[in-house]
């Protein structure tokens, strides 16, 4: 049975190959001996793995583990075994907030056309204004947040009408 993790945009699989006499994992199909497994919980830890003693720090954030190892920080997400793995299609229709913030101005109303790259909504986050460009040419379907309203990161703040196949 595999344990699927997401790191740097790629899917990885960790499985238990053997438990005795020492613990052997396979990481992406390659065996790795774990002489001393890391403990649970946040903070600094060590593990003896693949013949090396490795120091690291780790903290849990929701379904992710943030790992600091060898002076670098990694964001490792647990892949929900029940999810299909990524929404298919429609991404180009939605304008998602790249960061939490508030709407400063809305440049297009629903029904108006917009060209790819044209500013659709100007937002502000941490005293910084950014014009969010339309992801493609199209017609504005809905604007979900008006001036002064706040939103969270990755929230859809505007959508374009679905594209129809041009003959």
Partner 1 sequence: MTAALFRKVLVANRGEIACRVMRTLERMGIASVAIHHHVERTARHVRMAGEAVEITGNTPVAAHLDIEQIVAAARATGADAIHPGYGFLSENARFAAAVAEAGITFVGPDAATIALMGDKISARNFAEANGVAVAPSVMPTDDLDAFAREAAAIGFPLLIKAAAGGGGKGMSVVRSTGELREAARIASSEAERYFGDGRVYAETYVERPRHIEVQVLGDGAGGAIHLFERECSVQRRFQKIVEEAPASSLDLALRERICASAVRLASAARYKNAGTVEYILGADGRFFFLEMNTRLQVEHPVTEMITGIDLVRAQIEIAAGKGLPLEQSQVRAEGHAFECRICAEDPGRDFMPETGVVQYLDVPDERWLRFESALDRGQRVTTDFDSMLAKLVVYGSDRQQAADRSVSALKSLTLLGVTTNIDYLARVLDHGSFRAGDLHTGFVREHAAALEPTPLHADRRAQVLAAAAFGFHEFRELVFGTPEPHAAIGKWRN
What CA–CA distances, in Å, run from 62 to 112, 115, 139? 39, 38, 37
Q: Is 73 in the site for partner 1 (CB under 8 A)?
A: yes
Whichever of 126 and 166 has its CB closer to partner 1, that residue is 126
Nearest Cα residue to 47 out of 23, 31, 30, 64: 23
Q: Compose the 110-129 pattern: x for residues touching partner 1 by CB under 8 A, - for all others.
A: ---------x--x-xxxxxx
Whichever of 127 and 166 has its CB closer to partner 1, that residue is 127
Structure token pair of residue 164: 């129809």
Q: Compose the 131-160 pattern: x for residues touching partner 1 by CB under 8 A, - for all others.
A: x---------------------x-------
Q: Rounded to an integer, what distance in angstroms lies between the CA atom of residue 150 and that of residue 121?
A: 13
Where are any strands of DSSP class E within the chain?
2-7, 10-18, 23-27, 30-36, 43-49, 52-61, 64-69, 72-78, 94-96, 101-106, 113-114, 119-125, 128-133, 138-143, 150-151, 156-160
CB 133 within 8 A of CB 117: yes
Closest contact distance (angstroms) between CB of 110 and partner 1 is 22
Q: Considering only residues 20-59, where is the footprint of partner 1 by CB under 8 A? A: 23, 25, 27-28, 30, 32, 34, 37-45, 47, 49-50, 52, 54, 56-59
Q: Rounded to an integer, what distance in angstroms lies between the CA atom of residue 126 and that of residue 11?
A: 33
Closest contact distance (angstroms) between CB of 166 and partner 1 is 28
Task: Catalog residues that contact partner 1 under the rule CB under 8 A.
Answer: 1, 3, 5, 7-8, 12, 14, 16, 19, 23, 25, 27-28, 30, 32, 34, 37-45, 47, 49-50, 52, 54, 56-61, 65-76, 78, 98-101, 104-105, 119, 122, 124-129, 131, 153
């Amino acid at each position: 049975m595999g344990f699927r993790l997401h790191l740097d945009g790629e899917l990885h699989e960790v499985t238990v190959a053997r438990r005795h006499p020492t613990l052997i994992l396979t990481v992406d199909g390659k065996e790795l001996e774990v002489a001393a497994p890391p403990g649970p919980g946040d903070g600094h830890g060590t593990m003896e793995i693949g013949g090396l003693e490795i120091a690291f720090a780790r903290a849990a954030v929701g379904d992710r583990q943030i790992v600091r190892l060898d002076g670098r920080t990694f964001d490792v997400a647990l892949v929900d075994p029940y999810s299909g793995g990524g929404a298919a299609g429609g991404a180009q229709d939605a304008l998602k907030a790249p960061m939490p913030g508030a709407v400063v101005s809305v440049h297009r109303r629903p029904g108006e056309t917009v060209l790819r790259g044209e500013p659709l909504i100007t937002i502000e986050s941490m005293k910084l204004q950014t014009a969010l460009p339309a992801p493609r040419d199209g017609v504005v379907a809905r604007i979900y947040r008006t001036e002064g309203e706040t939103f969270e990161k990755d929230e859809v703040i505007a959508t374009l009408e679905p594209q129809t196949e041009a003959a």
